Structure 1
Amino acid sequence: MDTDVLIVGAGPTGMTLANELLLAGVSTVLVDRLAQRSDLSRAGGVQSRTLEALDQRGLLEPLLATGDHPVATGHFAGIPLPLQAERHCLPWRSVPQVVIEGFFERHLAAHGLHARRGHELVGLAQDDDGVTAAFADGTALRSRYLVAADGAHSTVRSLLRAEFPGEPGTLTIVAADVRLGGSDPSTAHTWSEDGHWAALFPLGTDPRGRQLRRLVLGGPGRSLPREVPVTEDEIRDGLRTVFGTRVELLELRYARRITNASRQVEQYRHGRVFLAGDAAHVHLPLGAQGMNTGMQDAFNLGWKLGAAAHGWAPGNLLDTYHAERHPAGAAVLRNVRAQSLLMDWAGTRDPEVLAAREIFTAMAQLPQAQGYLGDLMSGMAVRYPMPGTTSHQLVGRPVPDLDLGPDRVHELLRFGRGVLLDPADRFADAAGPWADRVDRAGKGAGVEPMLIRPDGYVCWAGADDPEAALRHWFGEPR
């Protein structure tokens, strides 16, 4: 084998996974077909759950230190969702994808892992022992496992001939990074009477301290083929149609057309090959859910591949990647479809759609509804199935960042190992055989006993013996 894991695609998903594998002590090769990293921002926000996962790896503070990344207000179908500190201890942040990629590239390089750029995958074959990847320059790499993180037009997915069912794109909208002048719009989403609309989100500031925005435009007559270039005149016309003379374009940094295609692969695992991020699911980019869902795919898969590479993974552990992440991806596709309907992307001004939106907007003011929608859009609503464990309310959910006295729970997960919280010091003998992969902590703390997976999800809680859960998730003891 040339490496334990070959990752195809050096975007946020691929780089997140590479970092997880570094923590697991697994040899990794990261390749990308582009000769250099893209300077396009693409996604622009990081959700609460992703921020928690980065915090658990000790990466959140250095990421936020890279520049001005203001707190962002979430939304559902353009309806603002107020921040609820009691539900989301880390509120959304405006961190453009290009910043995240640059941060991870530097972080990985500091630990000796450099993306091999200009490597275009052209062939793929797997057997019982590993995967052979062939590249356009005539070279080949042999790995035990391969992960496709190569985007919506995934070469790996095509070579696998993996089923990618769903709905094709029926219209396009414009997404652009801009600097604007004039009065600042008071709302993120604004509609004109004739169905044209604009959405604005903060992207922080440029090196000269000037405010950057993500602008999205749509409405009647604005759906053009994806290959048609977006011009400054088109952006100016869209702003004028929605805002009149109140807002003007000062600078257009980058623009592209995106579609409302909605697809998801039927299987996330194909033998020794795994699909993650946009290679596994595509949809309208609402709330940066594509990037965040892909990064969560990586957090879920990384420690499991590490366990398999080190030989202690239970027999079905790699299968739980599909079992857990496919439903999570499907839930994102459903909420995006609902949002696209309520937002009237095509600008039809259909009275039935407008009536539904009016009622939904009123309902979204209710605290319980805000909590539900906030959890949905922040990634906090995900609850993984945990067969064979207790039905405790925490099981399957992200662990709260509990204060254990000298430590926080998030700090205990920094090294990518499992953690058993044992406040009454009852389970030393039970946990001892797994000491090479699970840390025991929390003695004397006023918390419930719980077992936390390396990806920060609770897989056991309560008063019964944790041995069955340890064996189920962390394999047989050495």
Structure 2
Amino acid sequence: MDTEVLVVGAGPTGLTLANELRLAGVPVVLVDRLPRRSTLSKAGGVQSRTQEAFDQRGLLEPLLATGNHPAGIAHFAGITLPLTRDRHRHPWRSVPQVVIEGFLEQHLATQDIHVRRDHELTGVAQDEDGVTATFASGGVIRSRYLVAADGGHSTVRSLLGAEFPGRPGTVTVVAADVRLSGDDQAMTHTRSEDGHWASVFPLGTDPRGRPLRRLSLGGPGRSLPREVPVTEDELRVGLRAVFGDRVRLLELRYARRITNAARQAARYRHGRVFLAGDAAHVHLPIGAQGMNTGIQDALNLGWKLGAAVHGWAPEHLLDSYHAERHPVAAAVLRNVQAQSLLMDQQGTGDPDLLAAKDLFATLTKLRDVQYHLDDLLSGMGIRYPLPGTEAQPLIGLPAPDLNLGPVRSHELLRSGRGLLIDPAGRFAKVAAFWPDRVDRAGQDAGVEPMLIRPDGYVCWAGDPDALEPALGHWFGEPH
């Protein structure tokens, strides 16, 4: 083997996965077809759950130190959810994708992992022992596993002939990174009486400290083919149709047309090849859910591949990647499609649709409705269907951040191993059989015992007799 894992695609998903494999002590090669890193931000927000995961790796604080990344208020279909502002330890933040990619790539470089650029994949073949990837340059890389993180038009997925069912795009809207005059820092979704609409939310600042915005525009007659370039005049006309003279375009940095296509791979695992990120699911980019879902794919898969490479993965572990992540992305597609409908992307002005949105907006004033929608959007409501979920409400959920005396529990997950919270010291003998895979900690008798997977999800709590089976289920045979 040239490497244990080959990751194709150096976007947020691929870079996060490479870091997880590094943490697991697994040799990894990361390739990308682009000759240099993109300067374009396809996404611009980081959910609460993704921030927690970065914090569990010691990456959140240095990432936020890269610039001005303001906290924002969640929204659903442009309807703000103010009651959720202080609900999570880490609020939704505006961090452009290009910033995240640059930060992760530099972090990997300090660990001597460098993206191999200008690597255009042309062939994938696998056998019982590994995967052979061939490239347009004539190069060949042999690996034990391969992960496709190469985007919505995934070459790997095409070469596999993997099913990618769903709906093709029926409408396009404009997405642009701009500087504007006259708008404020808050996320806004504004519609004119004739159906034209604009969404604006902050992207932080440029190198000179000037505010940047992500602007989306749509409405009657604005759905043009994706290949038609977006011009400054088009943006000015669209802004004028919605805001009149209140908001003006100062600078256009980047613009593209996006569609409401919604597709999801039927299977995330194909033998020794796995699909992750946009290679596994695509949808209209609302709330940066695509980028965040892809990062969470990588966090779920990384430690499992590490376990397989090191030889202690239980037989079911790699299959659990699809079982856990496929339903999550399916739910994201559903909520995005609902948001797209309520936002009336085409500006039809359908009175039935407007009546439905008015009723929905009234319902969102209720706290429980806002909390439910926030669970969908923040990633904090994800609950994997793990053994024991029926009997214990913590199992399957993201682990709480616990005070364990001199440290907090999220700091102990930076090892990339599992974590057994054992406040009363009752489980030392059991945990001793997995010393290289599970750390043990806990000094506060008021904390509930629990077992946390390397990706930050609780996989055991409560029943003492169920701990040893849970350790074996997630961390393999005892040492």
TM-score normalized by structure 2? 0.98
Partner of 1:469: 470
Partner of 1:157: 157
The answer on whether the counterparts of 2:384 and 2:396 sit within 8 Å (CA) in structure 1 is yes
How do 1:304-383 residues align onto structure 2 when only pairs under 5 Å count?
A: 304-383=304-383
Q: How many residues align?
A: 478
Describe the SS at the equivalent of 2:415: coil
Displacement of 1:446: 1.6
Displacement of 1:8: 0.1
Partner of 2:122: 122
The answer on whether the counterparts of 1:384 and 1:397 sit within 8 Å (CA) in structure 2 is yes
Displacement of 1:42: 1.2
Partners of 1:305 and 1:219 in 2: CA distance? 45
1:389-419 Cα distance to aligned partner (Å, 9 max, x none): 6621110000011111211110010111000
The answer on whether the counterparts of 1:389 and 1:469 sit within 8 Å (CA) in structure 2 is no
1:41-73 Cα distance to aligned partner (Å, 9 max, x none): 110000000000000000000000000000011
Partner of 2:270: 270
Is the alpha carbon distance of 1:290 and 1:89 closer, same or farther for their aligned partners in structure 2, counting shifts above 3 Å?
same
How do 1:157-236 residues align onto structure 2 when only pairs under 5 Å count?
A: 157-184=157-184, 188-236=188-236
Is the alpha carbon distance of 1:86 and 1:400 closer, same or farther for their aligned partners in structure 2, counting shifts above 3 Å?
farther
Displacement of 1:186: 6.5
Is the alpha carbon distance of 1:186 and 1:325 closer, same or farther for their aligned partners in structure 2, counting shifts above 3 Å?
closer
Partner of 1:52: 52
The answer on whether the counterparts of 1:24 and 1:306 sit within 8 Å (CA) in structure 2 is yes
Describe the SS at the equivalent of 2:94: coil
Tell me, yes or no, if structure 1 residue 414 matches structure 2 residue 421. Answer: no
Partners of 1:186 and 1:15 in 2: CA distance? 30
Displacement of 1:463: 3.6
Partners of 1:198 and 1:146 in 2: CA distance? 40
Partner of 1:289: 289
Partner of 1:396: 396
Partners of 2:246 and 2:347 in 1: CA distance? 22
Query: AA paired with 2:101?
Result: E
The range that moved more, 436-445 or 304-313, is 436-445
1:337-382 Cα distance to aligned partner (Å, 9 max, x none): 1111111011001011100100110110111111110111011111
Partners of 2:21 and 2:357 in 1: CA distance? 44
Describe the SS at the equivalent of 1:391: coil
The range that moved more, 4-13 or 402-411, is 402-411
1:304-354 Cα distance to aligned partner (Å, 9 max, x none): 000000000000100000000000000000001111111101100101110
The answer on whether the counterparts of 1:184 and 1:247 sit within 8 Å (CA) in structure 2 is no
Is the alpha carbon distance of 1:236 and 1:389 closer, same or farther for their aligned partners in structure 2, counting shifts above 3 Å?
closer
Runs of at least 4 residues off by over 4 Å: none
Partners of 2:447 and 2:121 in 1: CA distance? 49
Partner of 1:455: 455
Q: % of aligned pairs identical?
A: 74
The answer on whether the counterparts of 1:423 and 1:445 sit within 8 Å (CA) in structure 2 is yes
Query: AA paired with 1:267?
Result: R
Describe the SS at the equivalent of 1:433: coil
How do 1:24-173 residues align onto structure 2 when only pairs under 5 Å count?
A: 24-82=24-82, 84=84, 87-173=87-173
Partners of 1:300 and 1:87 in 2: CA distance? 24
Describe the SS at the equivalent of 1:164: coil
Is the alpha carbon distance of 1:438 and 1:348 closer, same or farther for their aligned partners in structure 2, counting shifts above 3 Å?
same
Partners of 2:102 and 2:154 in 1: CA distance? 22
Displacement of 1:187: 5.6
Query: AA paired with 2:398?
Result: P
Tell me, yes or no, if structure 1 residue 260 matches structure 2 residue 256. Answer: no
Displacement of 1:431: 0.9
TM-score normalized by structure 1? 0.99
The range that moved more, 437-446 or 303-312, is 437-446
Query: AA paired with 2:15?
Result: M
Query: AA paired with 2:419?
Result: V
Partners of 2:171 and 2:41 in 1: CA distance? 22
Partners of 1:264 and 1:187 in 2: CA distance? 29
Describe the SS at the equivalent of 1:396: coil
The answer on whether the counterparts of 1:36 and 1:117 sit within 8 Å (CA) in structure 2 is yes
Partners of 1:456 and 1:430 in 2: CA distance? 21
The answer on whether the counterparts of 1:83 and 1:91 sit within 8 Å (CA) in structure 2 is no
Describe the SS at the equivalent of 2:307: helix
Describe the SS at the equivalent of 1:73: coil
Query: AA paired with 1:45?
Result: G
Q: What are the ranges of 5 or more consecutive residues in structure 2 without an aligned counterpart?
A: none
The range that moved more, 90-99 or 181-190, is 181-190
The answer on whether the counterparts of 1:390 and 1:460 sit within 8 Å (CA) in structure 2 is no
Partners of 1:200 and 1:85 in 2: CA distance? 18
The range that moved more, 338-347 or 84-93, is 84-93
Partners of 1:138 and 1:198 in 2: CA distance? 47
Tell me, yes or no, if structure 1 residue 443 matches structure 2 residue 443. Answer: yes
Partners of 1:263 and 1:183 in 2: CA distance? 34
Describe the SS at the equivalent of 1:144: strand
The answer on whether the counterparts of 1:2 and 1:141 sit within 8 Å (CA) in structure 2 is yes
Is the alpha carbon distance of 1:83 and 1:24 closer, same or farther for their aligned partners in structure 2, counting shifts above 3 Å?
farther
Partners of 1:84 and 1:247 in 2: CA distance? 28
Partners of 1:389 and 1:224 in 2: CA distance? 47
Partners of 2:410 and 2:51 in 1: CA distance? 11
Partners of 1:310 and 1:118 in 2: CA distance? 30
Describe the SS at the equivalent of 1:381: coil
The answer on whether the counterparts of 1:63 and 1:100 sit within 8 Å (CA) in structure 2 is yes
Displacement of 1:443: 3.0
Partners of 1:56 and 1:282 in 2: CA distance? 27
The answer on whether the counterparts of 2:405 and 2:443 sit within 8 Å (CA) in structure 1 is no
1:90-126 Cα distance to aligned partner (Å, 9 max, x none): 1011000000000001000000000000000000000
Displacement of 1:462: 0.5
The answer on whether the counterparts of 1:16 and 1:299 sit within 8 Å (CA) in structure 2 is yes
Partner of 2:431: 431
Is the alpha carbon distance of 1:372 and 1:390 closer, same or farther for their aligned partners in structure 2, counting shifts above 3 Å?
closer
